[in-house]
Structure 1
Amino acid sequence: MCIHWCFRETLGNVLLSIYANKESVDETLVEVLIFSTYIACNEEGVLDAFVSIVTGPPGPNPVQLMPTIFIPVLVLWGDKDPFTPLDGPVGKYFSSLPSKLSNVKLIVLEGVRHCPHDDRPELVHENMLPWLAETFNF
């Protein structure tokens, strides 16, 4: 029981450091992540897959991939993202894309951190739904 409680508290603290909207870090989110982790940990091959992800080759990076994508792309970026800040190398690269690739649109979400879809879902929907309607004639 103590391990479960400690994990819950640690996970909650990690999530609070990731989300700008602290109200998004609720018991439901923590429970879903704990349950998902518990289920995944009991599946055969999960440990091997995790080790491979963490220690394996990184694969192609966005600089290599983006010029090969020709379908419309909407990039929603939190301006408070602590992991991939807008003024970091990846952020600067994505910020430059709309002027280089006509199929890419970047929208910077103010006050949002690394997980816009969870952090501020209403802001994501407010920007994504009109883009989908315009882009795909919905």
Structure 2
Amino acid sequence: MMCIHWCFRETLRNILLSIYANKESVDETLVEIIREPANEEGALDAFVSIVTGPPGPNPVQLMPSISIPVLVLWGDEDPFTPLDGPVGKYFSSLPSKLSNVKLIVLEGVGHCPHDDRPELVHEKLLPWLAETFNF
């Protein structure tokens, strides 16, 4: 049983290392934050439901109906949804189509900017919030 927990933790760590551009972000705390919910009762059923259930509306369907200000922070090293992929191209085109959308590409950042480079996310997010909502 000990190997299962250790192997899962190491597999999770390796997956995270492939997602995060800032490898220093993948520490024990992050691994545990992501791993811990898997120990909860019903976790497997929830995961299967997420993976096999209907995907729900996609961004192309949703974005035109959103009228509030939207800030999109995108990591330029995102391996799952690269900026030059279909979803990335769609979001890159939005600021010229929708006046409420602003896109900022974060250099040296992977799929999870808020974990990967929180200081860079704050550097972009806080001024945008202040400007947009008069904080």
One fold, TM greater than 0.5?
yes
Shift in Å, 1:8: 1.3
Shift in Å, 1:44: 4.8
SS in 2 for 1:80: coil
Q: What's the TM-score, normalizing by structure 1? A: 0.88
Distance 2:120 2:40 in 1: 35
**Percent of paired sites with the same residue:** 92
Distance 2:51 2:111 in 1: 20
Shift in Å, 1:50: 2.2
Change in Cα spacing, 1:11 to 1:57, as seen in structure 2 (3 Å) is same
In structure 2, the partner of 1:36 is: none
Distance 1:56 1:50 in 2: 10
Shift in Å, 1:53: 1.4
Distance 2:20 2:61 in 1: 29
Change in Cα spacing, 1:53 to 1:73, as seen in structure 2 (3 Å) is same
Shift in Å, 1:49: 2.8
Shift in Å, 1:77: 0.2
- Deviation per CA, 1:78-110, whole angstroms, max 9, x where unpaired? 011110000000000000000000000000000
- Deviation per CA, 1:36-55, whole angstroms, max 9, x where unpaired? xxxxx455544333222111
SS in 1 for 2:89: helix
RMSD: 1.2
Shift in Å, 1:2: 1.2
Shift in Å, 1:56: 1.4
Q: What's the TM-score, normalizing by structure 2? A: 0.90
Distance 1:131 1:106 in 2: 11
1:66 and 2:63 are equivalent in the alignment: yes
SS in 1 for 2:111: coil
SS in 1 for 2:96: helix
In structure 2, the partner of 1:15 is: 16
Distance 2:15 2:134 in 1: 40
Distance 2:119 2:25 in 1: 11
More deviation, 49-58/104-113:
49-58
**Unmatched tracts of structure 2, length 5 or more:** 33-37
More deviation, 85-94/5-14:
5-14
Change in Cα spacing, 1:7 to 1:83, as seen in structure 2 (3 Å) is same
1:106 and 2:90 are equivalent in the alignment: no
- Deviation per CA, 1:54-77, whole angstroms, max 9, x where unpaired? 111111100000000000000000
Count of residue pairs the alignment pairs up? 129
